[in-house]
Structure 1
Amino acid sequence: MDTRNFSAAERLERLPLSGYHRVIFIIIALAFFFDSMDLAMMTFLLGSIKSEFGLSSAQAGLLASSSFFGMVLGASLSGMLADRFGRKPVFQWSIVLWGVASYLCSTAQTVESLTLFRILLGIGMGMEFPIAQSMLSELIPAQRRGRYIALMDGFWPLGFVAAGVLSYFLLPLIGWRDIFLVLAVPAVFVLAIRFFIPESPRWLEQAGRHEAADKVLSAIEQRVRTSLGVATLPEPLRLPRTVTPAGNFFSALKQIWSPQYRQRTTMIWSLWFFALLGFYGLTSWLSALLQQSGFAVTQSVYYTVLISLGGIPGFLMAAWLVERWGRKPVCIVTLLGGGVMAFLYGQSAVFGGNVALLIGTGLLMQFFLFGMWAVLYTYTPELYPTSARATGSGFASAIGRVGSLLGPLVTGLVFPITGQGGVFALGALCFAIAAGVVWLFGMETRGKTLEELTELEISS
């Protein structure tokens, strides 16, 4: 059957899920995992760095926020670059940048140089996160898209746990600088991406490169047939088609604020900002706050790792529920659940710091919050068309990183005044606001192709 008269979406959506799709998922998810490790490591090293350089709480908060400042720049630029020049090259260079920056962190002898290198690291990570979700959303069929993107985000708590385990065993032996050196090694992973990850056929088609799109699609179809051991594939079905005229570098940014997408953009930016303000205001300080409560360094790292294990069943549950309940209800439930447990965790830390109570409430807090992350990364790219998907995801992530940037700073300022109870109550309030925004203005995207979602008018 000649499929050249069908669009990229029509050819991709009719493909059965195969081992080839899973290989693409694993490669992108592992890149996400290594980035997550690097970002999460500051949670476990901040106490040691604070002690070595004699930092105040406000100065430590500024250092913890430095990566997020870089992520604001990286996320906002990478989306426009990827919509203009393609997903694959931007994805590759983001990994190279964070690998080099992680190495530079290992050489830092002053807090000023470490802050600069963490900003560079943040630029690389900020570039990678929105491109990863855009790439995966454009390659996985609609019926499994939500689950796979949610599972990809699950590599975030795995990276968090891995960072904690690594720091728990290595920090007493080699110090924080050599841990950053170890984290630079996975940058060679970019070689696998160069050979195995295709450019998005949806993007190629939208960019007018129809021959290149057909070539990539034919290769994907052949690999799917080989993976499944079949001679033929299901026939494509006609889907809604949208034609986006070629524009300049800023066309996608204008598109996400057009009348059709303005409410989606306002909703998702607000969600990212308040969710990340609360999340990073708490998690960047978990280990350091435990140390402030009297726990030893290794003990605080151990408890932080233990608490973060709650995120693993959290993202697995979210990955299942987003295709059962839908994106919107799961997002609201995880935000509210995370807010309640964050408040209770803060109160348990205030009243005696009972270890069992701290761990129990902390596990449930991370269960909901990492579930929230899974929905966030699933939901965002589904709201925009191919011509603006990376830009929409990138700027949403960038606005979230502004919240990430402010979170540790606010925590560093609020903690001396209100103590841990006030810090976690503030985090709970942020999650409640984010849940309210989704409830009032969010739309459901479950089970619809990206092209169908492009045609939908806003509905609550």
Structure 2
Amino acid sequence: MELQSKQNLFSGEDEATWKRRWKVMYASIAGYAMDGLDMLILSFVMTAIIKEFGLSFVDAGLIATYTLIGAVMGGYIFGIMADYIGRVKVFALTIILFSIFTGLCAIASSLTELNIYRFLAGLGLGGEFGIGMTLVAETWPAAKRARATAGVAIGWQLGAVLAAVLAAMVVPHFGWRGLFAIGVLPALFAAWARRGLPEPDIWVNRKIMKETVAKKLANNEELSDSEKEFWNKANKFPLAHLFANKRKSITTFALTVMTSVQNFGYYGIMIWLPTILMQKHNLSLNKTTTWMVVTVIGMVIGIYLFGQFADRVGRRPAYITFYICSAAAVWIYSILNDPIFLLIGGALLGFFCNGMMAGYGALLSEHYTTDARSTAQNFIFNSGRAVGGFAPVIIGMLAARYTLNGALVILAFMYVAAAVNVFFLVPETKDVTLD
């Protein structure tokens, strides 16, 4: 289709184009880092919150679950909004939203009030992931797409490290409330980093195409066959694209299984790991912070190498390999007792279980068109969060009956099932051109 005007900011290989790509990358990393900071703050103050409000493991787990329920709803709402009105505008809005309600957690006077603030903060958290990943996937070359989205995924781990450092510095002096109050400042910085970001070429040009066809229809002009086909597809409600036919529906289901396992594993491990270390192994908050930082370092290395692996050999081989290794890592970690082995095991656990985060931004982008890409990212990943949101409370229930370590063993079986899911149901999309 011939367009009167067309944006061409991200298709070249010149220095200016790469500067724009890196600016998008840095802004997306900053946003996802604040996502990680906000969520992981909770894991470092869970023990203090349990003590202040006199909570059971189940009630404590529900705090995280309410946050994730909000994230699911926010992901659905803001993902659709980003497909309609633009990625960048909605991106900034989500970060401002979760920063405000993270700060309000510091003045919560009851468990109910804290749960409400965590739910509202979750709305912003859920919207941020898919939009940031979509921005990077749509502006970086296909051959480097998994590595680029890996960069964004590392942002979460940077936020987790920042949460650990702030917990060690702030909690001993100002308590858990002080940590939530301090957490607002980095989030506001991330919102500021969004200034001046351009929308991706592919989204802008798609919008121009829609306006061109709409103008023809308004003037009662005849549309070509290609224009009719485009109009019928582009005018669908974004969510309908995910279930357009049987093959697409199966793919959407399979990808949702993958993100469900990812989120269940991550939140099940990271929300409760500090508690396991403090209660079973009698470690102080500072020593627990060391273990968590080492685990996160393992995650960063895993994410980086997964992105390289997925770009070189394909998405399917990368995921199947990491799922099988994750199953082994979780089982081995559950039986460790020696502090040194716990340290090394934590790094391996992070490497495999969260290294896979590198690929979702690319994988989810490659299965859907620009009309629904942000919706697909947020719907699929946050549907996975909906399942993963029950991990803290399920593991809390199992821990109350058995042990926290024993409760984590269930994850090993989930990772094996996820590998089978990828093998049979997920098509390969390496080097695919986005449309």
Q: TM-score when scaled to structure 2?
A: 0.89
For residues 113-136 of structure 1, the C-alpha deviation after alignment (integer angstroms, 9 at most, x for no partner) is: 111111111110101101111111
For residues 88-115 of structure 1, the C-alpha deviation after alignment (integer angstroms, 9 at most, x for no partner) is: 2211110110111111111112221111
Unaligned runs of 5+ in 1: 213-240, 452-460
Q: Does 1:319 align with 2:303?
A: no
Question: CA shift at 1:306, angstroms?
Answer: 2.6
The DSSP-based 3-state class of the residue aligned with 2:313 is: coil
Question: CA shift at 1:377, angstroms?
Answer: 2.7
Task: After TM superposition, list the pairs within 5 Å mapping 1:309-458 onto structure 2.
Answer: 309-348=297-336, 353-451=337-435
Question: CA shift at 1:297, angstroms?
Answer: 3.2
Give the whole-Å Cα distance in 2 for the aligned partners of 1:169 and 1:57.
26
For residues 131-169 of structure 1, the C-alpha deviation after alignment (integer angstroms, 9 at most, x for no partner) is: 111111111121222211111111122221221121122
Task: After TM superposition, list the pairs within 5 Å mapping 1:125-274 onto structure 2.
Answer: 125-186=125-186, 187-195=188-196, 197-208=197-208, 243-245=230-232, 251-259=237-245, 260-274=247-261
Match of 1:288 in 2: 275
Structure-2 change in CA distance of 1:424 and 1:6 (3 Å): same
Which letter does structure 1 place at the counterpart of 2:396? G
Q: Is the 8 A contact 1:276 1:403 kept in 2?
A: yes
For residues 16-48 of structure 1, the C-alpha deviation after alignment (integer angstroms, 9 at most, x for no partner) is: 562231122112211111221111111211112
For residues 272-327 of structure 1, the C-alpha deviation after alignment (integer angstroms, 9 at most, x for no partner) is: 11221122112110101222213333332332223222112111111211211112
The DSSP-based 3-state class of the residue aligned with 2:193 is: helix
Give the whole-Å Cα distance in 2 for the aligned partners of 1:275 and 1:188.
28
Question: CA shift at 1:244, angstroms?
Answer: 4.5
Which letter does structure 2 place at the counterpart of 1:135? L
Give the whole-Å Cα distance in 2 for the aligned partners of 1:103 and 1:124.
13
Q: Does 1:120 align with 2:104?
A: no
Q: Is the 8 A contact 1:278 1:426 kept in 2?
A: no
Q: Does 1:299 align with 2:287?
A: yes
Question: CA shift at 1:192, angstroms?
Answer: 3.1
Match of 1:224 in 2: none
Give the whole-Å Cα distance in 2 for the aligned partners of 1:185 and 1:120.
18
For residues 315-340 of structure 1, the C-alpha deviation after alignment (integer angstroms, 9 at most, x for no partner) is: 11112112111121111212221221
Question: CA shift at 1:384, angstroms?
Answer: 0.7
Which letter does structure 2 place at the counterpart of 1:277? F
Give the whole-Å Cα distance in 2 for the aligned partners of 1:447 and 1:170.
45
Q: Is the 8 A contact 2:294 2:343 kept in 1?
A: yes
Q: Does 1:71 align with 2:55?
A: no
Structure-2 change in CA distance of 1:4 and 1:164 (3 Å): same
Fraction of identical pairs, as percent: 26
Question: CA shift at 1:7, angstroms?
Answer: 7.0
The DSSP-based 3-state class of the residue aligned with 1:443 is: coil
Which letter does structure 2 place at the counterpart of 1:395? F
Give the whole-Å Cα distance in 1 for the aligned partners of 2:113 and 2:90.
26
Give the whole-Å Cα distance in 1 for the aligned partners of 2:3 and 2:141.
19
Structure-2 change in CA distance of 1:302 and 1:11 (3 Å): closer
Unaligned runs of 5+ in 2: 213-227
What value does the CA root-mean-square deviation take over the aligned residues? 2.3
Give the whole-Å Cα distance in 1 for the aligned partners of 2:201 and 2:301.
33
Q: Is the 8 A contact 1:131 1:394 kept in 2?
A: yes
Q: Is the 8 A contact 2:134 2:361 kept in 1?
A: no
Which letter does structure 1 place at the counterpart of 2:159? G
| Comparing 200-209 and 400-409, the one that deviates more | 200-209
Q: Is the 8 A contact 2:210 2:231 kept in 1?
A: no
Q: Does 1:102 align with 2:102?
A: yes
Match of 2:82 in 1: 82
Question: CA shift at 1:418, angstroms?
Answer: 2.7
The DSSP-based 3-state class of the residue aligned with 2:428 is: coil
For residues 147-199 of structure 1, the C-alpha deviation after alignment (integer angstroms, 9 at most, x for no partner) is: 1111111112222122112112221122111111111113143233132x112
Which letter does structure 2 place at the counterpart of 1:323? D
Q: Is the 8 A contact 1:139 1:200 kept in 2?
A: yes
The DSSP-based 3-state class of the residue aligned with 2:423 is: helix
Paired residues in the alignment total: 414
Q: Is the 8 A contact 1:276 1:401 kept in 2?
A: yes
Give the whole-Å Cα distance in 2 for the aligned partners of 1:92 and 1:440.
38
Structure-2 change in CA distance of 1:300 and 1:200 (3 Å): same
Question: CA shift at 1:71, angstroms?
Answer: 0.5
